[in-house]
Structure 1
Amino acid sequence: MIAMHTPPATRIDCEKRKKLKRKRQKKFAASLLLFLVTVLSMSCGLTRMLVDAEASALIAAVLDAQASADGSDGSNQGTSHVPAGKLGPWVTSDVSRGLMQVSSLSNDADSVDAVNRAMITDPDGVGVVHIVMIVTFPSEGGDVSVSSSAKFTRIFEECIESLLSTAKRMPVHFILLTDKGSEFFFRKIVVNIAVAKSRVPVYVDAVALVAITSNMTSSLERLRSHLPSAPRTKYAGPLFHVEPLLPFAALPGRPNRVLVLDANLRFRTDVSLLRDTFDLFGKQRAIAMGAELSPLYRESFRAHRDKFPASKLGLPRPGFQGVNSGVALMDLARLRSSDYYRDLAMPSPAGSHLHGKAERNDTLTYLVKKYSFGPSGVGDQDFFTLLAAERPDMFYTLDCSWNVQLDLTLKNEEDTEVFDKYHYCCPQDDVKVFHGNSGYPIPED
């Protein structure tokens, strides 16, 4: 009897076919289960549970990715990409620039090319809205909190949905600054909402924060030491001091004019109208922010007012309430070209060219002492409030309707009248952007 032997190559091919078959079976079973659950959710009102389940699964995947990233050598930094075709027929990708367009225009190659060319040649945002958002998952004691992350995910989704569903006039280019493990997660959220809701072309860049800050570590630590954040709060992390350094960061597309937005916003009107504020800057202004709508800086400038009783710093309008950085317009080119701003934001080994005395060599130290400034502990907002106090000529005051802050933390029975002087902005029907800072709920329209 002759023994029959299966050739090794044949056995390998057989194993591959079996694995492929099992993979297809699992995929079919998963699709069938998803279909059944979706039908059930439509009839039983379980849609929110599905969204939360998907968010939880994605967050778990992000945590795994973050763990893997923590063990990497850090060499793979910069803009991350999603290959064209992976997210459906509405997505095209200019791989050389890491930009994605999400729009029905994607079916028209000439339209896509025209918009891509406009992106490349439009750093001033004349025909496109460049938006920078710094987004990472909340952490507690250094560890990512899954429950807080699920809540943050919903807040971020609601912000993006409101922004894109009201955008009508200009393409939108998102630059998401995040951690390496979360790049794909946040980008996917924007892409999914853009496909479903947007009536304008949408571009998405997701960049690891470390790729932005790796060359500015000393500047970041300097800001944190001069204007420390409250310990054991979300502001304790370094990302809440990144915004002042954006003019010196290599952002995708090299935009000169950007909107810098918090994630806890709700847009009620077209974001391109906010972008039009750049046209009001004139020749000197480089930043636009609205007033801080709470007595947050009343105490920060109290010592200064004690020395100079005529000062209006920290007092309600028409005094100077401080600024709120949740909605900001920044002309990065003007800030880069400003020697004063560079002295303030970046360390200067040779000392400031603006101050001759030794104790004034550091411009930021000089301003903190000049105004006897007590940091409020909310990160970069303290920086911009100090700058606005010293150099109001660099600021355009954004109408408060673009940043209606809902935080009532500082309101109490004794200070209700004082609080209201700071807090009132405009009738609710006139609100353009709600800001749910400190977790305060945003009214439903």
Structure 2
Amino acid sequence: MKFYKVVLNLAVLLCVIVIIVLYVYQTEEDETNTVFHRSNGVFNRGQELHESYKASVTTKTNSHKYLEPIEYNVWCIFTKVKNMNSPLKFKFDNMLSSILQYSSIVIILNIISDARSKYIVESVINKKINETGKQLIKVKYHSVETITSALSNLTVTMQPFFSPHPGAYYSDALFFISLGLYRFAPPQQKYAIMLDIDIELQTDIANLFKEFHSFKEDNIIGLAPELSPVYQHILYVYRSHHKHTKLGSPLSNGGFPGLNSGVILFRFDRIRASKLYETLLTLPAIQNLTSKYSFKGHLGDQDWYTLVAMEHQGLIHQLPCSWNRQLCLWWRDHGYHDSFDNFAKCDGPSFIYHGNCNTPIPKHKKYNKYDVDSNNNHV
């Protein structure tokens, strides 16, 4: 009797072992040949693993060349707008219309504003979305009072060097916000563009974001060249002592005419990590550079960008002039008539028109010297 029980137990144990072996084998086979259904078709797990490996290798191989997926963050300042008839309101309306007209992407529009201006800009945005039927923007509002208050020390440092006199237009704290914007952008926001509201796009804003692909490893900010002789004027003393310098000369002659801050590309992640950038915001650094170049500016943040680029060219990625086609003629009519054309020269299509110094943006786009007709009027 005991013998039969032993045999029976052995038989049961053998069956269990066989079942386990078969289960393990089947599971391994299933893991190799499992079929996954996706929206673009059906393929087996072996294929998926192969494709995942290829994707991983491609990502690692090209990590220095291609950007990781990003949000499309655009920043602008909309403040001190008193009513619906304000020129600033119409400028913003025009900028927004041009973005929506060409955009193929959803952008996050970060608006720095005060309470009254926020009410006005909200109405503009809602109306424009209803008119176009395009839901291509998400809006985030940021308190201008909070930001300027937090940047008060920075503003106090900058004003004596880059403002004409206290109370002047470019003395306002608003014109130094871009320098400290990285402190207020969310930590996960690595890339961003800042636009003046007196611009008009002529192409998809996604193409401007592609300029980040052209940044070199040490580039942290991107700006287009200044298209007027303003920095030739500011650098008069320095140029008189350095006869062969290219600083302050037209881009068309191979010079460095300075930078314009109407369109700015930020690598916030690199700015946050840059000790040099932080140092260049300090009073001793600014005193050193302004003294070295006999530099007394009056254009706010773009004076600082220009000064930094003269000393640390590698920090700046220079955008093609077509991404900030400035239209202001003020310097042509104030002592630089003979040389103005050389500064304003920007060949090819204009991707962004910049109606700086309240210059009307041409209705009929022309790609000549500076988009004016034979009577030197904007068209």
| TM-score normalised by L of structure 1 | 0.63
| Pairing 1:385–2:306 present | yes
Q: 1:331 aligns with which of 264, 267, 288?
A: 267
| Distance in 2 of aligned mates of 1:177 and 1:365 | 30
Residue 369 (str. 1) matches residue 291 (str. 2): yes
In the other structure, the counterpart of 2:173 is 238
Is structure 2 residue 189 aligned with structure 1 residue 255? yes
8 Å CA contact 1:260–1:329 kept in 2: the answer is yes
Change (3 A) 1:364 1:293: same
1:299 aligned partner, one-letter code: H
Give the counterpart of 1:437 among 351, 356, 361: 356
**CA offsets 1:10-60 (integer angstroms, 9 cap, x no match):** xxxxxxxxxxxxxxxxxxxxxxxxxxxxxxxxxxxxxxxxxxxxxxxxxxx
Contact 2:112 2:142 in 1 (8 A): yes
Q: What is aligned with 2:72? A: 129
Deviations 1:227-268 (A, max 9, x none): 2245665323210111111122x2357522110100000111
> 1:300 maps to what in 2?
234
Letter in 1 for 2:69: V
Residue 187 in 1 paired to residue 152 in 2?
A: no
Contact 1:406 1:435 in 2 (8 A): yes
Identity of aligned residues (%): 26
Query: Which structure has the larger Rg over C-alpha atoms?
Result: 2
Residue 204 (structure 1) aligned with residue 139 (structure 2): yes
Alignment-mate amino acid for residue 196 of structure 1: E
| CA-CA distance at 1:384 after TM superposition | 0.6
**How far apart are residue 215 of structure 1 and its match?**
2.6
SS at match of 1:242: helix
SS of residue in 2 equivalent to 1:416: coil
- Structure 2 counterparts to residues 36-185 of structure 1, below 5 A: 126-137=69-80, 150-168=86-104, 170-185=105-120
Q: Which of 379, 385, 394 in structure 1 is aligned with 2:315?
A: 394
Q: 1:191–1:204: 8 Å Cα contact kept in structure 2?
A: no
Gap regions ≥5 residues in structure 2: 1-66, 365-379
Distance 1:320 1:371, change over 3 A: same
CA distance in 1, matches of 2:133, 2:201: 13
Q: Partners in 1 of 2:68 and 2:75 — Cα distance?
A: 13
Structure 1: 5+ residue stretches without partners: 1-123, 139-143, 348-361
Structure 2 counterpart SS, 1:328: strand
Secondary structure (helix, strand or coil) at the match of 1:214 reads: helix
User: Which TM-score applies when normalising by structure 2?
Assistant: 0.73
Q: Contact 2:229 / 2:336 at 8 angstroms: preserved in 1?
A: no
Alpha carbon RMSD of aligned pairs, Å?
Answer: 2.2
CA distance in structure 1 between the aligned counterparts of 2:181 and 2:68, rounded to whole angstroms: 16
Q: CA deviation at 1:414?
A: 6.1
Question: Kindly tell me: are residues 305 and 166 of structure 1, through their superposed partners in 2, closer, same or farther at Cα, counting changes over 3 Å?
Answer: same
